[in-house]
């Protein structure tokens, strides 16, 4: 068996086309979605992520603004900038790129962002609404995974979904989203983590296996049953002297072996990553429609 490749680039492009139509209708009403990104410090990965998000905004007609600060920025100044953005009517989404320098509390940053402009879905109000099954903004990566499954014909409804990883960015919110009695959910969900015993026994029960623990090529073909659908959230650098950069990206799944057993699998890169950005854009447009 050779697995179907679930193409996140293709699906995200389809989502962006749909967003262009919504943006066009908003502009007819005199509204333009606006996203403000805030970057503190010179973390190379953070700079790449922010640039990718800004470029994606420009491609579909979302206004984007970026505020860049040195890593020494006092916490009080960052919080004041966020409060200013909360009050600006042309800004509908606020994105503060993590991680933050040590002097800045990420929790304080999240709490300061207006929940109505929290397009990352991190604010406790939005998290609570998600748990209650009445979401406003859901976190982008879990939402992207859900969209990826549904749009590729692998609806989780009625399936046993096993999630590897209980992190606050992916594992926990995704579990909450998938057990809801709603469209694109209604699954039986198991979460595995460092305290899980007999892990392969559980992963082999999965109809859909979602790997999000940040360990390169951790999931091997002996850990999955034939016909499983595999969603690989991991992005790990491994040394590769054959490449110009000296490294390459791999997921949490041993793609070469697992793809011979699975019925469908996401690649790394090109699977979940593009969907995360698409959901950020979608949440920003939704905020503009609501505000």
Query: Quick one: CA torsion of 98, 38, 86, 12, rounded to 10 degrees?
Result: -70
Peptide bond connecting 93 to the previous residue in cis, omega within 30 degrees of 0: no
Catalytic member of 53, 81, 116, 159: 53
Tell me the torsion sign for CA atoms 39, 131, 149, 221. Answer: positive
Q: Specify the number of domains making up the chain.
A: 2
β-pair partners for 96 = 38
Instruction: Give dist(CA 282, CA 291) in Å, integer.
Output: 14
- Catalytic, 155? Answer no
Give domain status of residue 281, yes or no. Answer: no
Does the annotation count 97 as an active-site position? yes
Contact 252, 236 (CB under 8 A): yes
pLDDT of residue 156: 98
d(Cα 203, Cα 230) in Å, to the nearest integer?
11
pLDDT at 186: 98
Q: What is the pLDDT of residues 44-53, one digit of tens each?
A: 889 999 999 9
pLDDT digits (tens, 9 = 90+) for 181-239: 999 999 999 999 999 999 999 999 999 999 999 999 999 999 999 999 999 999 998 98
CATH of residue 235: 3.40.50.720
DSSP 100-132: PPTTS-HHHHHHHS-GGG-TTS-SHHHHHHHHT
State the pLDDT at residue 95: 97
Q: If you compute the radius of gyration of the chain from its CA atoms, what whole number of angstroms results?
A: 19
Q: What average pLDDT does range 268-275 have in this prediction?
A: 97
Report the distance separating Cα 164 and Cα 173, nearest Å.
13
pLDDT of residue 211: 98
Both tokens assigned to 267: 């690649």
User: DSSP states of 119-167 as a string?
Assistant: TTS-SHHHHHHHHTT--SS--HHHHHHHHHHHHTT---TTSEEEEE---
Nearest residue to 138 via CA among 156, 157, 154, 125? 125
Determine whether 120 is an active site residue. Answer: yes
- pLDDT value of residue 240: 85
DSSP string, 239-284: E-TTSSSSEEEE-SB-HHHHTTT-SEE--SSSSHHHHHHHHHHHHH
Shared domain check, 148 and 84? no
Mean pLDDT, rounded, for 99-121? 97
CA 27 to chain centre: 27
Element (H, E) at 198: none
**What is the SS3 assignment for 36?**
strand
Residue 288 lies in a domain: no
- The pLDDT of residue 243: 85
pLDDT band at 1 (very low <50, low <70, confident <90, very high): low
Helix (H) or strand (E) holding 67: strand 63-69
- The answer to whether residue 246 is domain-embedded is yes
Instruction: Give the pLDDT confidence score for residue 106 in this predicted structure.
Output: 97
pLDDT at residue 246 in the model: 86
Q: Identify the active-site residue in 118, 120, 207, 254.
A: 120
- Residue 256 sits in the same domain as residue 143: yes
The answer to the question of residue 16 being in a domain is no
Residues 52 and 145 in one domain: no
Mean pLDDT of 174-182: 97
Between 182 and 1, residue with greater pLDDT: 182
- Let me know if residue 14 belongs to a domain: no
The answer to whether 57 and 64 have CB atoms below 8 angstroms apart is yes
Residue 9, in any domain of the structure: no
Would you state the structure tokens that stand for residue 226, as one six-digit string? Answer: 């034939």
The pLDDT assigned to 57 comes to: 97
* Residue 227: predicted pLDDT: 98
Domain that holds residue 255: 139-272
Does some domain include residue 5? Answer: no
The pLDDT confidence band at residue 109, using thresholds 50, 70 and 90, is: very high
Give the pLDDT band (50/70/90) at residue 291: confident
- The alpha carbon of residue 224 and the mean position of all alpha carbons in its chain are separated, in whole angstroms, by 24
97, 159, 232, 252: the catalytic one is: 97
Whether residue 37 is contained in a domain is answered as yes
Predicted local distance difference test score (pLDDT) of residue 135? 82
Does one domain contain both 98 and 172?
Answer: no
CATH assignment at residue 85? 3.40.50.10860
């Amino acid at each position: 068996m050779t697995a179907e490749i679930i193409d996140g680039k293709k699906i995200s492009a389809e989502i962006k086309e749909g967003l262009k139509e919504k943006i066009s209708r908003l502009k007819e009403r005199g509204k333009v979605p606006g996203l403000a990104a805030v970057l503190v410090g010179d973390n190379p990965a953070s700079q790449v992520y922010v640039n990718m998000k800004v470029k994606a905004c420009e491609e579909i007609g979302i206004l984007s603004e970026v505020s860049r600060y040195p890593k020494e920025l006092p916490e009080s100044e960052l919080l004041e900038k966020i409060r200013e953005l909360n009050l600006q009517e042309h800004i509908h989404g606020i994105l503060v790129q993590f991680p933050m320098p040590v002097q800045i509390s990420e929790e304080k940053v999240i709490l300061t962002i207006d929940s109505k402009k929290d397009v990352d879905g991190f604010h406790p109000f939005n998290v609570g609404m998600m748990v209650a099954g009445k979401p406003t903004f859901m976190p982008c990566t879990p939402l992207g995974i859900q969209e990826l499954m549904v749009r590729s014909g692998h609806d989780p409804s009625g399936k046993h979904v096993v999630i590897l990883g209980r992190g606050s960015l992916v594992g926990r919110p995704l579990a909450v989203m998938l057990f809801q009695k709603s469209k694109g959910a209604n699954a039986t969900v198991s979460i595995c983590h460092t305290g899980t015993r007999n892990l392969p026994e559980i992963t082999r029960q999965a109809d859909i296996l979602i790997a999000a623990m940040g360990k390169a090529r951790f999931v091997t073909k002996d850990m999955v049953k034939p016909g499983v659908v595999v969603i690989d959230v991991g992005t790990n650098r491994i040394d590769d002297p054959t490449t110009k950069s000296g490294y390459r990206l791999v997921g949490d799944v041993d793609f070469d072996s697992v793809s011979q057993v699975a019925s469908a699998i996401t690649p790394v890169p090109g699977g979940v990553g593009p969907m995360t950005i698409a959901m950020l854009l979608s949440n920003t447009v939704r905020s503009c429609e609501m505000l």
